[in-house]
A and B are shown apart, each in its own frame.
Chain A
């Protein structure tokens, strides 16, 4: 090793390190992106929460950012993460597929309001050769997911699907291994239609499943079902609709077999929506409704002057939410396979938006 090579190496490394440090410092002092449409002095809003409405939110945010110049960031870290982030006051609003219970509301540092943004459904997907439009009753769902119905040609399934060739094959159940709002909606429905289920399993974002196998996320469940003939499971509608998976018609409380689609999902919200919009609309009484449907909500503080929250941020947030429930944005929801909010829900949501204040003064001047 001669000295000049060492010298050279030393100088080279020292220069590299200096360069890297200078780069890191300049980059971190530089605020705002220059390729995005938001410029340095504009407001930036951060939000986090449910993964279920992500395609819709991302699309809506993109459009809103283009039009208004306000930079919005949404992270799909899960409803629990959204609630936690809001509680820790590190986001401007959160998103959740299950509304907060009274207990959870009391644990938040200040009063929270819920704004519903769109609707989705949980479809029952299955993999059977040559069997399209499988019809399923609540009774069958109870049997399959509790393990009492184990074969596809079980008499209970056959009576409802006369004329369909059901094989003598084992039913393999697939469920979500990760906690999710989809599971919550599904289990809420199951609790309503089955005594046994409500005793054994109950409602929740993750459950103690009596039978079946767990797969992670919608892609996991869909992938597993598509690769195993004879399997059945539940998937979020926005995923199922885009993927062209086989899913079943479910019999609702009026006795009709309903195909999950945007229209039938919206129908399940017809009826009384409480003033705080905290309602599960599964097993709806409406005759055209798809019974396993639900809202998804955005949650934020009623009083927006907290921490370092500025009035411009509060205004931007509320105006964004106001736009999100408007017909323009709702049309965007439908373009990516979500069901739009029915008129009643929009009215209630608008009322709630009107109650959001900054230092006591309502933000929306309508």
Chain B
């Protein structure tokens, strides 16, 4: 008697568990589909509206002025010029930001991972997360007060880099720490057991093992700052010419997008510039996933 009841109870249980399993799978798939829908809309709008303006000149010529745009539209032409000043400016500013933020962020993340139990790490973690919530415009104001006024005595690309570097930090720090936590401890201990000095353990074991997670954090922070306008407005200011001097005002793609948006004749260029940024981010993502696919930690028995 009891055995039969137990067995049927078992079967009922299995049935419910299997049903939950199936329902959840359906939930996951439908939610993922739901996520895709707006993505497809946004991406297609950018591509459709932007592709018409992209040609070779787009990459090598500096931004057009309002008159050129007005004449081109009146004649049904593509607007002449390009965003070369923006591309080189973005490249310059982001490079300097990365050099400042990436090593620092990784070092801080590793410290927090190595000293997890400490109150100090907890404190750092909170500070980092709060830093993430600071609006980009406030960081622009800060960089204006610190750098533009006192360091470069004028608007400069460096001031822009400082603001963007501060924006990059929280993401890199947190993703580094979390990635390190997922690395099996044996790997790290084995390296120490072999007598490797601390910095070699970090550089040759931890970082390569966590490469995929680290690059995700770096990529995410890069993607974010590539599209930021507000902090650059009051630090790098912008420029109509191509500039490689970090102590001088520089243009950047998001700055140009803002200028195009506000000019009645150049709104079209907003889409093509965004398309450029989007493709750039895509390329960065592809490179990063190629590099990290060689390093995925997978324990196969």
Q: Is the CB of B158 within 8 A of A28?
A: yes
Q: Is the CB of A75 within 8 A of B204?
A: no
Q: Is the CB of A46 within 8 A of B96?
A: no
* CB-CB nearest in chain B for A40: B245
Query: How far does the alpha carbon of A37 sit from the alpha carbon of B149 in the complex, in Å?
Result: 28
Q: Given A27-B244, A44-B248, A90-B153, verify A239-B203 contact (CB < 8 Å).
A: no
On B, residues with C-beta under 8 Å from A are: 62, 65-67, 70, 84, 92, 95-96, 98-99, 103, 148-149, 153-155, 158, 187, 203-205, 207-209, 211, 233-234, 237-249, 259, 261-265, 267, 294-295
Stretch at the interface among A6-14, A95-103, A161-169, A226-234: A6-14
Choice from B237, B264, B295 contacting A238 with Cβ under 8 Å: B264
Q: Is the CB of B203 within 8 A of A14?
A: yes
Query: How far does the alpha carbon of A190 sit from the alpha carbon of B3 in the complex, in Å?
Result: 90
Choice from B67, B149, B238 contacting A59 with Cβ under 8 Å: B67
A243 an interface residue at 8 Å Cβ cutoff? Answer: yes
Q: Is the CB of B155 within 8 A of A242?
A: no
Q: Which residues of B contact A1 (CB under 8 A)?
A: 187, 208-209
Question: What's the interface size class on A, roughly?
Answer: 35 or more
Can you list 22 residue pairs at the A/B interface with Cβ under 8 Å? Answer: A20-B98, A23-B95, A27-B95, A28-B247, A35-B62, A36-B241, A54-B259, A55-B263, A56-B66, A58-B240, A59-B67, A62-B65, A62-B240, A65-B240, A73-B237, A75-B249, A76-B238, A81-B234, A217-B262, A218-B262, A219-B261, A336-B67
Q: Which residues of A contact B294 (CB under 8 A)?
A: 5
* CB-CB nearest in chain B for A217: B262
Q: Which residues of B contact A90 (CB under 8 A)?
A: 148-149, 153-155
Q: What 0/1 pattern do residues 228 to 262 of A give for CB contact below 8 A with B?
A: 00000000001111110000000000000000000
A17 an interface residue at 8 Å Cβ cutoff? Answer: yes
Q: Which residues of B contact A133 (CB under 8 A)?
A: none
Choice from B84, B187, B263, B295 contacting A54 with Cβ under 8 Å: B263
Q: Is the CB of B241 within 8 A of A218?
A: no
Q: Is the CB of A9 within 8 A of B208?
A: yes
Q: Is the CB of A33 within 8 A of B66?
A: no
